[in-house]
A and B are shown apart, each in its own frame.
Chain A
Amino acid sequence: MLSIENITHSIDVWLNRTFSPTVAVLLESLIVGLCVIGLFALLGLVLVLMERKVSAYMQIRLGPNRVGPGGSLQTVADTLKLAMKEGLTPDGADKFLFNLAPFLVIVVAMMILAPVAFAKGTQIWDINIGVLYITAISSLSVIGILMAGWASNNKYSLLGAMRSGAQIVSYELSAGISVISIVVLTGSLRISDIIASQQDGWWLFKGHVPAVISFIIFIIAVTAETNRAPFDLAEAESELTAGFHTEYSGMKFALFFLAEYVNIFIVCAIAATLYLGGWMPLHIGHWAGFNGVMDYIPSSLWFIGKTFFLIFMIMWFRWTFPRLRIDQLLNLEWKYLLPLSMVNLLLTALIAIERWHF
C-alpha cells in the first residue's frame, strides 16, 4: 500500500544505494528542509483561507470567492500584494532587534516541527524527550514577540508585547501541567511512545474524567498562548491597532502573520498527538474487526483530520466568545485554571498508579 512511511523509506534506501553515505545525508537534509519550507507555505495559504471562509460562513456571508476557484487563490494574491509593499523600519526603532524578531519567530516555529509525527513512522527526529523539547522551544517565541514590541519604539507595540508576554507565560503553566498529566499516564516523553500507548483507545477516552479536564484546560491554554480570540487582547484592534506588529509592514508583517497560523497548526497537532492519538486510527480496546476497518484509512489522513478539526474548533471560539479584559484573563489563569490543573494532575497520577485507566 502507498503510504508516507513507504515513500520516505524507499527514498532513503534509494539515496543510500545511489550515493555515498555523506552525500545521501546531505541530500536527505536538503529534502527535509525543502519539505518543511513547502509545508510552511502551504499551511499559510490553507489556514488563512480556512479562517476567512469559516468566519464568513459563521456570519452568513460568502467570504473570498473571486480569485481562483471558490476563492482558493485569495491568499496567494494577498501574499503577492504584501511582497510588493515596502518593509519600513521606523526611524526611532532599534533596527537590529526590529529586523531580528521576525526571523526568531519563524525559526522557533520551524524548530518545533522536529518531533511532530505527521504519519506512521514519519517524524523528522524522534527525540527521546519530545514533549519537553516542544515545551522548551515553544516558550522561546515569546522572546521574539517582546523583541518586536520593544524594538518598534511605538506605544501600541510595547503595550501589545507586554500583554502578550504576560499572557503567554501565564498560560504556559496550565498547558505544561496538562502535558505532564499525559506523560504521567504514558510514562515516557517520546512522541512515538505516547502515540503507541494509545493503540487500544485515545487518552481522551481511556483516561477517565481527569484526561477530559486536562484536554479542556490544554485547549483553553493554547488558545491563549497563540493569542487567539477570546484571548487576543495582545492585538485587540479596537484599543491597540495591531499590537506588537503595528510598525511592521510588507514581508516582515507577512512572516509574523504566517508564524501565528503555523503556531495554531502546531499546538493543534500536539493536542491531537497527546489526547487524540496522533496518527493512530480510532481503536476501541481489542475489537479486532472494528480496529481493522479503521486501519484502512491512512494514518496521515487521521492526523490531518484530527488536527484540522481542532483548528476549526479554535476558529469557532473566535466567533462565539467575547474578548476578555486583561485582569479577567490573568485571573482566569492564576485563580482558576492553575489550581484546577494541579489538582487534576494529582488525580491523574492516582489513576496512573492504581492502573484505573482502561
Chain B
Amino acid sequence: MTERKLANSQLGSLEYDPAPESAAVARLAPSYGLFIDGAFTDPSAHVQFASINPANEETVATVAQASAADVDRAVASARRAYESVWSKTTGAERAKYLFRIARIIQERARELAVVETLDNGKPIRESRDVDIPLAAAHFFYYAGWADKLDHAGFGASPRSLGVAGQIIPWNFPLLMAAWKLAPALAAGNTCVLKPAETTSLSALILAEILQQAELPDGVVNIVTGDGSTGAALVEHPDVDKIAFTGSTEVGRLIQRSVGSSAKHLTLELGGKGANIVFDDAPIDEMIEGVIDGIFFNQGHVCCAGSRLLVQETVADEVLRRLVRRVEQLRVGDPMDKNTDVGAINSAAQLARIEELSAYGEREGATRYTSSCVLPEKGYWFAPTIFADVAQSHRIARDEIFGPVLSVLTFRTPDEAVAKANNTNYGLACGVWSEKGSRALWVAQRLRAGVIWANTYNRFDPTSPFGGMRESGFGREGGRHGLEAYLDV
C-alpha cells in the first residue's frame, strides 16, 4: 500500500511566535550569603561561586560556599532556636507560620517560577504550573497537621527529633525544600537546609519569605555550597536527623557515615521506574502519560518512567506513536511559555546522559532522536527513545536521569512484573490498562514505593512518596511523612 502525505500533516508544525516570560520578574540580587539565625551572613572564608543558567551558561547570581565552620554556626543556631523557641510553641502557633509561608509562596509565585527556571533550566510552564503551586500546597497541607499530631497515629503527644539536617537535589529545588521543611517544622523540629550546588537560588528567595513570614530566627537555616558542605552537615554531632534526596551513590556514603551515630535517617534516592503498557491501555492518554513520565523536567525525575515495558501485540503501534509524539515536543528556551523540554541542568549531567546513551547504541538498541534544533549555548540533549532494548543493556539498568526512554517488550503479565522488578531500584512504576482487576493484580506484585495506574508523575501533598531497596527508605508527604520527623 502506498502512502500519501497531506502537506503540513506534521503534528505541531504551525509556528508559534516566541512567548517569553520576563527574566526581570526574578528581582535577584547579584550575590547571596548564608541564611543563619534569621539573617543573611557572609561565609567565614568569603568564598562565592556562580550559579549558572544552564540554558545559556550565564551567571544568574553568586552564592556562598559554606565551610564546616559555617555549618557549625547554622547547626548551633538551629539548636538554640529549638531549645528556646520552637520546641515550646504550640502546634497551632507553628501552623500559623506554615500557613503564612504557603500564602507568601503563592503571592510570589511568578517570581519564584522565573527564578527556578533561570537557575534550573526547566520550562517556565512546569515551574509555573507544577513546582511552585505544589510547594505552596505542601506548606498548606502540613500546616493543617501541626496541631493534630496527637491524631496522626503515632501515639499521644509524639515528640519532635530536634535539629534536622536536610540535603536536597537540583531537579525540583523549591519543591524539594518544601517537602523537607514543611513536615519537619509542623512536627516541631528546627532545620538546616542544604540546597544543591547548581540550584540554590529559589531556596534563598524562600529564606526571604521566611523573614517576611516572621518565622522565629534560627528555626530554618540555609547553607549553600558543594558536597563538602553537605558532608559537614551529615557529620555534625549535634544534628539529630538527616534527610537526603539525591543519588544512590551519595545516599550510600551518607548511610555509612550516619550508621555509627544515633542520628535518624531517611533517604530518597534514584530509580529506574517501569511503565507497563498492556494492549488494552487507553492508547492516546497512555502515550501522553509515557511521554510525560520520561520527558517531564527533562527526565530529571527520580521516579521517571525511564523503562517502558510494552505488550508485544501493540509494541509497533505504541513505538510509532511515541516517536511521532517525541518529534512534536518543543525543545528550547525554558523561559518560553510554549517550551515542553528545557535545558539539562549542568555540564556534568549532560556528560553522563551522553555517556549512557552511547552505551545504548553500542549495545545494539535502536535509537530515535528528535530532529529538534538545539540552541548553541547551554547544556542540551534532544529527547531520545531507544527501542529493542534488552534487560542486560546498561540503558535498561542504570539511572540516566535525562530525556532518554528505553523500550522493552513483554508477552504475559508475569513477564511484565518480572521485568519491572528486575532492578536494584524500587521507587515508582506505572500500569496502563482499562481493566481494573489487571492493574491491581500487577500493582500488588510490583516492588516499588509508588504505583500509578493510567497516569504517571502525579504528585499531591496528601499522598506518601518514597522508595524501597536502592531507592531509599522513609516516606515524604501525607500522614506518613510526619513519621520521618517524630520520635516514634
Binding between chains A and B:
no
- Hey, which bits of chain A sit against chain B, CB under 8 A? none
Please list the residues of chain B having a beta carbon within 8 angstroms of any beta carbon in chain A. Answer: none
